[in-house]
Structure 1
């Protein structure tokens, strides 16, 4: 299966970049604040540029493909399941529970999703609906909740203002608008001398996030927080096993997908947790260990389950 081999090579590339971040932290390259700088620059600058560059050139039909229904329902259901399990068994603090829910439902649609969509599914545009859903819906909702829990109070004014503080959402909506206008006019409306630097800056987002994640591993021992272990393992099971199973049921019975569409929905649901979750945890300084361990365990086990899905449905 050449496509599966290529996807595994993609995981190897990602692991190497994470390792570079770890080595850089170990050698103290960039100083003690290097990880924070990478996180903040990615959050406010490079990631928004990446989202704008991707979405502005995607046809609207690809951005709002019906498969977004499958992605939405499967993500929401596993997020709710984690919150219920937390209420019954784990009893994490509110902010940590939000990070746990994100760990369970947030897909690594960029740096792992794109190569898998390209090499296994044969169509990188398949991740576009997930990009829009996560940035336009899940991210602002989660960050609003983190704002509220971090400050210890609910402010309607802050909730209403929250989208204005989300550069990823603003960039995503701007990209969709450019895609719409370009489709209506029949030509891409952004001149190359403006688009090219945006695209160039966006290319730095994924390596920055990965290296910051690698830096976070230095000086720490994953899965050493014994109290968090059951929750971390639960997150990985929800993300890599339960979510693909739900996606299959929704795609097959509710949406009536078969063949390539069904296969794509299940494979994408098995993507590991996105490193963005750690970025958000670092942004609010909550659940850092939980986020890191959940992402790491999910990323380590995801290739196994994607391979199983490829064998069963490919």
Structure 2
């Protein structure tokens, strides 16, 4: 559990540094968007290329990842249904809310959880693969379509496919599939740039908190509460039920349920900030789930680890 605490402390420390940078006027207002744009178009593609070119694509068909992926799709659908019945939002806000409910923090929190609770970082790599190769193109295509593109979803999907995050992910996957070795002279600078991705997103996230209160009264509050509740409670519970239904063993059930309890990924906030859609809604959801996921993960470890 100490490793998970260290992972949370790391994330919150960088968010706190961003908040202080804004509090003392080092960064003001929308200047934080420079961090988001550099992260989105440069650093995150580098990070994903590095992670995926080292992965084993075969493990994406493991029962744990298939169950977790299915649960993510189902809870996203639940969010859309609840949203339609309770609080109608535009396409971008609904998409980002559904993404917040099912897109887990598989990197900077998923890795310490995998190492220190699950005992193997290999459990997380295929989830990263699934999210960036399957889920991200669909999310980005929808967000592209909200920019006023009148030529249809196919064109929007084509534009999303040219997005640097998707291009870098596909290149990394191709390198892994072909079992190629990238020369260190090329890989080292890519790794260094990729290492900056998560800190930049977290700093921007912290900057956005200055002058704002989480869960302010308004149209975003129901969306935040629903997405957070689905992410923290419904997704792990649904994953546990699916594991039992599909006959996964005790350890696989523990792994899948723990992964499902991870908080909403900061990448979702990066998407929202880059496209200037539902930023406050996503920011609050990431904030709440990051804090509240720790006791949920601890409870799962206590109940299922044995």
1:236 paired to 2:228: yes
Instruction: Specify the alignment match of 1:185 in structure 2.
Output: none
TM-score (norm 1): 0.92
Single out whichever of 221-230 and 134-143 deviates more from structure 2.
221-230
Indicate the SS of the match to 1:245. helix
Deviation at 1:159?
A: 2.8
1:210 paired to 2:202: yes
Provide the aligned length of Structure 1 versus Structure 2: 305
Single out whichever of 21-30 and 72-81 deviates more from structure 2.
21-30
Alignment map for 1:147-226 (pairs within 5 Å): 147-151=144-148, 153=150, 155-182=152-179, 188-226=180-218
Superposed CA offset, 1:130-159 (max 9, x none): 111111121111121122233174524523
Output the CA distance in 1 between the equivalents of 2:153 and 2:88. Answer: 27
Residues 55 and 63 in structure 1, CA contact (< 8 A), matched pair in contact too: no
Residues 67 and 129 in structure 1, CA contact (< 8 A), matched pair in contact too: no
Output the CA distance in 2 between the equivalents of 1:207 and 1:156. Answer: 33
- Residue ranges of structure 1 left out of the alignment (5+ in a row): 183-187
TM-score (norm 2): 0.95
Indicate the SS of the match to 1:151. coil
- Residue ranges of structure 2 left out of the alignment (5+ in a row): none
Instruction: Specify the alignment match of 1:135 in structure 2.
Output: 132
C-alpha RMSD of matched pairs (Å): 1.6
Distance 1:156 1:221, change over 3 A: closer
1:28 paired to 2:19: no
Instruction: Specify the alignment match of 2:298 in structure 1.
Output: 307
Deviation at 1:81?
A: 0.4
* Aligned mate of 2:43, from 33, 41, 46: 46
Superposed CA offset, 1:10-56 (max 9, x none): 11111011101111111222454531111011111111111111111
Instruction: Specify the alignment match of 2:249 in structure 1.
Output: 258
Deviation at 1:227?
A: 2.8
- The ranges of structure 1 where at least 4 consecutive aligned residues each deviate by more than 4 angstroms after the TM superposition are 30-33
Output the CA distance in 1 between the equivalents of 2:218 and 2:185. Answer: 52
Residues 141 and 153 in structure 2, CA contact (< 8 A), matched pair in contact too: no
